Amino acid sequence: MLWMADILVVDHQSCQTGGAVPEAAKGNDKATTSAARKKRTLQDIRDSKTSGEKMVYMSVPDYTSARWAEMAGVDVAVLGDSLAMIAHGHSSTIPATMDMMALHAQAVRRGAPNTFMLGCMPYQSYNTVERALTNATRFMQEGACDAVKPQGGKSQAAILKAMVDAGIPTASHIGMTPHTVAMFGGFKIQGKTADAAMKILEDAFAIQDAGCFMLEFEAVPAKIAAVISKQLQIPTIGIGAGVGTDGQILLCYDLLGVFTDFKPKFTKRYSNLTEVALKGISQYIAEVKAGTFPDDDHSYGVDEKEYDKFVTMVERRKHQ
């Protein structure tokens, strides 16, 4: 497979440049420079609270998106259980399993070896201390994650503390928590009333008191998230929680327009790769139907003498 990859790379470059690799391409080879990239640390994340650095998190489900994350310079690659939806076609994150997450974690780590990686614990994988420790350990050992993130605040405080006390770097997720979406009656904004906002504040303090290094707000009014974030000593990130958090997270396949089943209000499309993909696939179909692909530039040649010899051998065989 490596041999084939080398052939394809050399062939592509020679087709484009006559065998020479342009200096500009050499200078822009982020895949090479990413090997020298310094991975962000837990302390970097903690320090962002006081340094003012806005940390960039991106949820990546597979090897290729993880490569993009590392090449672009994302601070934290998040292995989100949203992959049950975007990679497996489920309608929610509930069907994500530990086996599914562990498999994808390995792919993401191979794609982003020098990027801090946060594994999101799937539904019911942390509903007891024993299960939480067992499954968090799988993320760290099998998936080579740098930290894990279950969901919940006060109700999960004892479990969060047990994970931290066991030496597992742990974050948590409050506001609209996908694992309890059925109890919310669907994907709904949380913290819209003063009482509801106070509950989120208490959840945030519970997460901090448990020793977690970071928390995520989802679908919380921007002003509410900003006020709560200022009360805390640990950094916060937001998805649909405004600019007042200490960092931001979006799903790679959302922001690039790869996943198009629906678009949350909080997602900004920075590209539309589905349109690009459909255009390319349509052109491929058209060229195959017309018999114009593959052309000589995309086919392998053979020495003419050997070809003539082969044709002669074929003719002889036909008459044996």
Catalytic residues: 218
**What is each CA distance from 138 to 17, 128, 269, in whole angstroms?**
46, 15, 33
Host H or E run for residue 218: strand 215-218
DSSP class of residue 170 equals B
Taking alpha carbons only, the member of 217, 230, 159, 187 closest to residue 85 is 187
- Give 117's strand partners: 77
* Token pair recorded at residue 184: 């919310």
**Contact (Cβ atoms closer than 8 angstroms) between residue 228 and residue 239:** no
* Token pair recorded at residue 158: 């004892």
Burial bucket for residue 57 (CB in 10 Å: 0-12, 13-18, 19+): buried
DSSP class of residue 62 equals S
**Contact (Cβ atoms closer than 8 angstroms) between residue 93 and residue 178:** yes
Query: Which phi and psi (to 5°) does residue 122 adopt?
Result: -80, 175
Instruction: Please report which residue ranges of 112-151 form alpha helices under DSSP H.
Output: 129-141
